[in-house]
């Protein structure tokens, strides 16, 4: 898969700016996206210990589920910006739980990347990666449910 060129990245950044602004909700989205990028860097890096193909496929499948969650995170953040507005980087009244779930999802995704790195080094098992990925998806689902209220 080819990475997008500078013009495509700039176009996407402008689109994100129009949807999410460049303050609180953009920051929440970008933290999740950076953690997801880190996860893929770990998964696609050279293996430091032999990983069976079916277990590697498990890492990829978990990553694919997390990629799907990025679209949900984007829509949650866009809707939250529309509903609650932006007040610099301060969380607006009524948005605390949604923002907390978005922060938790990004933090859990960073921990998922760390668990994957430890697994690839032979210091953890694949179940720990799966449990972490499930926590990410649970937080995204919780935020989505809060936005439906």
Write a three-state SS string for the chain. Answer: CCCCCHHHHHHHHHHHHHHHCCCHHHHHHHHHHHHHHHHHHHHHCCCCCCCCHHHHHHHHHHHHHHHHHHHHHHHHHHHHHHHHCCECCECCCCCHHHHHHHHHHHHHHHHHHHHHHHHHCCCCCHHHHHHHHHHHHHHHHHHHHHHCC
For the stretch 96-132, pLDDT in tens is 999 999 999 999 999 999 999 999 988 999 999 999 9
pLDDT at site 45: 87
**Residue 137 belongs to a domain:** yes
Distances (CA, A) of 112 to 61, 76, 106, 125: 13, 21, 10, 12
Percent of the chain with pLDDT over 70: 88
Q: Which of the pair, 21 or 72, is modelled with greater confidence? A: 72
The arithmetic mean of pLDDT across residues 14-21, rounded, is 73
Structural domain range at position 139: 6-147
pLDDT at site 7: 59
| Number of domains, the chain | 1
The arithmetic mean of pLDDT across residues 35-53, rounded, is 85
**Residue 1 belongs to a domain:** no
**Residue 86 belongs to a domain:** yes
**Residue 47 belongs to a domain:** yes
Q: Give dist(CA 143, CA 140) in Å, integer.
A: 5
The arithmetic mean of pLDDT across residues 75-95, rounded, is 88
The arithmetic mean of pLDDT across residues 59-72, rounded, is 96
pLDDT at site 138: 98
pLDDT at site 96: 95
């Amino acid at each position: 898969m080819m990475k997008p060129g500078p013009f495509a990245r700039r176009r996407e950044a402008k689109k994100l700016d129009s949807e999410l602004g460049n303050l609180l909700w953009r920051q929440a989205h970008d933290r999740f996206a950076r953690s997801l990028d880190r996860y893929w860097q770990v998964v696609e890096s050279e293996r430091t210990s032999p990983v069976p193909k079916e277990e590697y496929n498990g890492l990829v499948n978990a990553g694919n589920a997390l990629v799907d969650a990025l679209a949900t995170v984007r829509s949650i953040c866009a809707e939250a910006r529309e509903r609650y507005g932006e007040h610099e980087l301060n969380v607006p009244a009524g948005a605390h739980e949604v923002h907390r779930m978005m922060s938790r999802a990004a933090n859990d995704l960073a921990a998922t990347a760390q668990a994957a790195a430890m697994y690839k080094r032979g210091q953890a098992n694949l179940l720990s990666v799966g449990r972490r990925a499930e926590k990410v998806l649970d937080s995204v689902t919780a935020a989505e449910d809060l936005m439906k209220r």
